[in-house]
Amino acid sequence: MLKIRIIPCLLFKNRTIVKSIKFDNFRMIGDPTTCARVFNERNADELIFLDIMATRENKEPNFEVIEAIAKECFMPLTIGGGIQNIEHVDKLFRIGADKIVINSAAVRNPELIKEISNKYGSQAIVVSIDAKSVNGVYKAFISGGREETPFKAVELAKIVESLGAGEILLNSIDRDGMMKGYDLNLIKEVSSAVNIPVISAGGCGVLQDFVDAVKIGKADAVCAASIFYFVGESIITAKDYMSSKGLKMRTI
């Protein structure tokens, strides 16, 4: 049976790994390759690396750092941030990425989703949807949460699925770094509307939040950062807890 994945997320800014609150107020965590090595050794199911300043600063992905991280990862590695065209994607796959995650480009250049999906298969393309509640409606934002799009999160999810996205990384801007739990309504709304896996992100603070994201939100995977850095929970304690609540986890 397929296991629920726990995916730590590395946010990269100014050559270090940071953690944000509501996409702002960054705290430094440490060196990217060290973080990647630690999560590999602790049997994280995958790793997501996001360069959160690249698009805002109109820079391309930092290939050198990404290549160094890829060397430490013997689990699937998803790379995002600053990806604008298929040349970037080709280069990222060459240096060791397994999946590409795009956010701003998915809205500004939706053809890129098709292009990546046709060339590498839909499993290789993840679209990250950053959602924020605006007048009671979950709207999709791009450019590091700075720019509101005309789309509802759930609309964008359906569009990118039809264009060939293989997974959705669903992030709640309101919950990011708050550690008060995932936005279960958001996850439920998107997860029930698409037939591709949804990874919940933003807000995990205690281990029960992982369980709720899966059982109530119907997420297929859970992504988190703060809980591993600031609470002292590890991938192993998280998996044990989730197993004890009846979820299928990878323990061997």
Partner 1 sequence: MIGIIDYGMGNVRSIEKVLIKLGAKFIISNKIEDLEFASHFILPGVGFFKEGIARLKNLGLTDFLRQEILIKKKPILGICLGMQLLFDNSEEGGFVEGLGFIKGSVRRFLFETNKLKIPHVGWNSVSGGDFFKIKILEGIEEGSNFYFVHSYYPHPNEQILCSFTDYGTIFSSIIQKENIFATQFHPEKSQKKGLQLLKNFINLKC
Residues 206-225 that bind partner 1 (CB under 8 A): 220-221
Q: Which of 110, 166, 202, 205 binds partner 1 (CB under 8 A)?
A: 166
Amino acid at 122: S
Instruction: Write down the least CB distance from residue 85 to partner 1, Å.
Output: 19
Of 198, 205, 199, nearest in space to 228 by CA: 205
* 84 is a contact residue toward partner 1 (CB under 8 A): no
Q: Does 40 bind partner 1 (CB under 8 A)?
A: yes
CB contact set of 171 (below 8 Å; sequence gap of 6+): 128, 129, 130, 131, 201, 202, 223
Residue 139 or residue 239: which is nearer to partner 1 going by CB?
A: 239
Q: Does 247 bind partner 1 (CB under 8 A)?
A: no
Residue (18 or 235) nearer to partner 1, CB: 235
Q: Using the rule CB under 8 A, is 83 a contact of partner 1?
A: no
Q: What is the C-alpha separation between 26 and 53, in angstroms, rounded? A: 12
| Number of residues counted as binding partner 1 (CB under 8 A) | 33
Q: Is 16 in the site for partner 1 (CB under 8 A)?
A: no
- Contacting residue, 20, 103, 122, 226, with partner 1 by CB under 8 A: 122
Residue-wise over 51-90: b if at least 16 C-beta within 10 A, else e? bbbbbbeeebbbeebbebbbebbebbbbbbbbbbeeebbe
Work out whether 124 is an interface residue with partner 1 (CB under 8 A): yes
Check residue 3 for interaction with partner 1 (CB under 8 A). yes
Q: Select the span of 20-28, 91-99, 106-114, 209-217 touching partner 1 (CB under 8 A).
A: 91-99
In the list 107, 196, 204, 224, the residue contacting partner 1 (rule: CB under 8 A) is 196
Out of 13, 18, 45, 101, which residue is the one contacting partner 1 (CB under 8 A)? 45
The region of 51-59, 129-137, 150-158, 189-197 touching partner 1 under the rule CB under 8 A is: 189-197
Residues that bind partner 1 (CB under 8 A): 1-3, 5, 40, 43, 45, 70-71, 74-76, 93-98, 119-124, 166-167, 195-197, 220-221, 250, 252
